Chains A and B, each alone.
Chain A
């Protein structure tokens, strides 16, 4: 399915096209990795809604990224339940091994490191979301093993190469 078809299918669930902006942005972000201006305008055109409505949602909700993020977006929870189980130590460790600060992306484009508010998985605190998956009961060893596993899924290439190899968007 094309981006337009996916968005139109999602929009059929609502009596008002404006309601479909959020689902459309999630679909577009899944396709493009992030939501630069031209993508936001494409979403507005497909739905036939005001561009400002699309811009305001893309900048209000934290799951939408208007700037590029790495192939793997490491989203470490640092809210209270994770903090009480030493998520700070994991942040320090991640900053050291990836040689980036919180909010940064590794030069190869593989990893972006963020802290996020409660992920709703406090039974397995400290917890981190990477892409669609939650990783819980984390400690330094498990973080290292996870990073190695993630790196192994993109063999002999880098995130930057991968991005360049993708077919251009419509």
Chain B
């Protein structure tokens, strides 16, 4: 039986208060880090743990930190990406609402490692409760000396500021988030320079997801070997899975990285509603290509899912049962990407507009011969030709839907109606 680590406090009453967090061993990781480790040793520890970024890309966290120049004439910044916008994802919200100190401790240790004295949490403006809890927790931590100057008697100074987003999915892309923090429209930047060298205010900056940062205190407290003992060697650790859609028990589940998708859905999330069968699953938020039912015996980790042509992404697992039209699902997903396209590059801005029109007419029973070829052509025109991963994600997802459920699309066109209505 797996014992939750990251969600340990989530179901505890008053889990968001400092007293509860400390009673459960909270802030001991920070004390240990400041007392027993140099910043470089923390980076080495995180490298040895094989922690990979939980925001979606799975980049090794220790390596990302090591790219920050040791000497810099500008201040360094830590940014926490809490702009959780990938449809089907709600893990960071629950962590921040119910256990905000875990994030603050993770940020403090990470900032110590990279030499940052200021951090910004870029959080969704919609997450009002999480924002309140986080601000309250920052005030509590400051009063107790876990934040501020000369933390726990060391010469480490650190403050955390909360910055509220205002409803732009593109801020999940780290350079768009930096532009947004600088008070501009959120649009991705050309790389290089990478943020580690020139990020926020052209200063060295590390951007990490909430879940990545909350892993850090546990690695410091329990060691890199403990972390690597959970899940697959190349992408180990505890993992938060968000399960939603047509299942009996939607919710947030903490389990080892690499758990079989079928086990997650059937044993933990209760399987599909009575009398229905699973038809397909989106494993990592709507950017992740869909997996048809026979493919569910797959490990939920970065490498296994990538090998199968999809991705772990944000681990937003959306379950679709056999009563649902896949054309409708695909249309809704592309409508989302079209709405959230920042407008910077043409293939994404114009291409997705075109895809939406074709998909809507197919779903409405007004599709024409040649529409399938047009969708194939549009995917080809978008994929690999956009400024950032938003357009790629949209095209990849649509390609998978067209490949796995082609006959459903064709039935709409031939029967001149949606077979599910």
Binding site for B on A (CB under 8 A): 13-23, 25-26, 49, 53, 56-57, 60-64, 78-81, 83-85, 117-125, 129, 132-134
Name 5 interchain pairs, CB-CB below 8 A, sorted by A.
A23-B163, A25-B166, A63-B167, A85-B245, A125-B244
* Alpha-carbon distance A123/B88, docked complex (angstroms): 9
Interfacial chain A residues near B161, Cβ < 8 Å: 13-14
Q: Is the CB of B242 within 8 A of A80?
A: no
What 1/0 mask marks residues of chain B from 242 to 286 whose CB sits below 8 Å from any chain A CB? 111110001110000000000000000000000000000010001
Q: Is the CB of A80 within 8 A of B333?
A: yes
Which of A49, A63, A84, A119 sits near B318, CB closer than 8 Å? A84
Which of B163, B201, B252, B336 sits near A117, CB closer than 8 Å? B336
* Alpha-carbon distance A65/B61, docked complex (angstroms): 38
Q: Is the CB of A84 within 8 A of B324?
A: yes
User: Which of A23, A80, A83, A118: most chain B Cβ within 10 A?
Assistant: A80
Interfacial chain B residues near A118, Cβ < 8 Å: 85-89, 336
Who on chain A is nearest to B91 by CB?
Answer: A120
User: Which of B182, B183, B244: most chain A Cβ within 10 A?
Assistant: B183
Q: Is B99 an interface residue (CB 8 A)?
A: no
* Alpha-carbon distance A83/B244, docked complex (angstroms): 11
Give A47 Cβ to nearest chain B Cβ, in Å: 9
Give B349 Cβ to nearest chain A Cβ, in Å: 14
The 3 A-B residue pairs whose C-beta atoms are closest, nearest first, are: A122-B244, A18-B183, A61-B166
Give B162 Cβ to nearest chain A Cβ, in Å: 9
Q: Is B332 an interface residue (CB 8 A)?
A: yes
* Alpha-carbon distance A13/B160, docked complex (angstroms): 9
* Alpha-carbon distance A129/B161, docked complex (angstroms): 25
Q: Is B56 an interface residue (CB 8 A)?
A: no
* A81 and B245 contact, Cβ closer than 8 Å, known pairs A22-B183, A119-B126: yes
What 1/0 mask marks residues of chain B from 160 to 196 whose CB sits below 8 Å from any chain A CB? 0101111111000000000011111110000000000
Which of B87, B92, B126, B252 sits near A63, CB closer than 8 Å? B126
Q: Is the CB of A120 within 8 A of B124?
A: yes
Binding site for A on B (CB under 8 A): 84-90, 92-94, 124-129, 161, 163-169, 180-186, 201, 242-246, 250-252, 282, 286, 316, 318-320, 324, 328-329, 332-333, 336, 339-340
Q: Is the CB of A57 within 8 A of B185?
A: yes
* Alpha-carbon distance A49/B183, docked complex (angstroms): 11
Interfacial chain A residues near B328, Cβ < 8 Å: 83
Q: Is the CB of A129 within 8 A of B126?
A: yes
Who on chain B is nearest to A127 by CB?
Answer: B90
Q: Is the CB of A16 within 8 A of B126?
A: no
* A80 and B168 contact, Cβ closer than 8 Å, known pairs A18-B183, A19-B181, A122-B250: no
* A125 and B127 contact, Cβ closer than 8 Å, known pairs A19-B181, A62-B167, A117-B340: no
Give B148 Cβ to nearest chain A Cβ, in Å: 15
* Alpha-carbon distance A145/B273, docked complex (angstroms): 26
Interfacial chain B residues near A132, Cβ < 8 Å: 128-129
User: Which of B87, B168, B329: most chain A Cβ within 10 A?
Assistant: B87
Interfacial chain B residues near A23, Cβ < 8 Å: 163-164
* Alpha-carbon distance A18/B243, docked complex (angstroms): 39
Interfacial chain A residues near B340, Cβ < 8 Å: 117
Interfacial chain B residues near A63, Cβ < 8 Å: 125-126, 165-167
Q: Is the CB of B333 within 8 A of A120?
A: no
Q: Is the CB of A117 within 8 A of B125?
A: no
Interfacial chain B residues near A117, Cβ < 8 Å: 85, 87, 167, 169, 336, 339-340
* Alpha-carbon distance A17/B252, docked complex (angstroms): 38
Which of B93, B168, B250 sits near A61, CB closer than 8 Å? B168
Q: Is the CB of B87 within 8 A of A79?
A: yes
* A123 and B90 contact, Cβ closer than 8 Å, known pairs A60-B168, A81-B244: yes
Q: Is the CB of A122 within 8 A of B184?
A: no
Who on chain A is nearest to B243 by CB?
Answer: A123
Q: Is the CB of B183 within 8 A of A16?
A: yes
* Alpha-carbon distance A21/B165, docked complex (angstroms): 11
Give A80 Cβ to nearest chain B Cβ, in Å: 5
Interfacial chain B residues near A78, Cβ < 8 Å: 332
* A81 and B87 contact, Cβ closer than 8 Å, known pairs A19-B182, A19-B183, A62-B168: yes
Q: Is the CB of A26 within 8 A of B125?
A: yes
* Alpha-carbon distance A25/B128, docked complex (angstroms): 16
Q: Is the CB of A18 within 8 A of B329?
A: no
* Alpha-carbon distance A62/B89, docked complex (angstroms): 19
Interfacial chain A residues near B85, Cβ < 8 Å: 117-118, 120
Q: Is the CB of A80 within 8 A of B87?
A: yes
* Alpha-carbon distance A63/B93, docked complex (angstroms): 18
* Alpha-carbon distance A6/B125, docked complex (angstroms): 17
* A64 and B166 contact, Cβ closer than 8 Å, known pairs A53-B183, A84-B246: yes
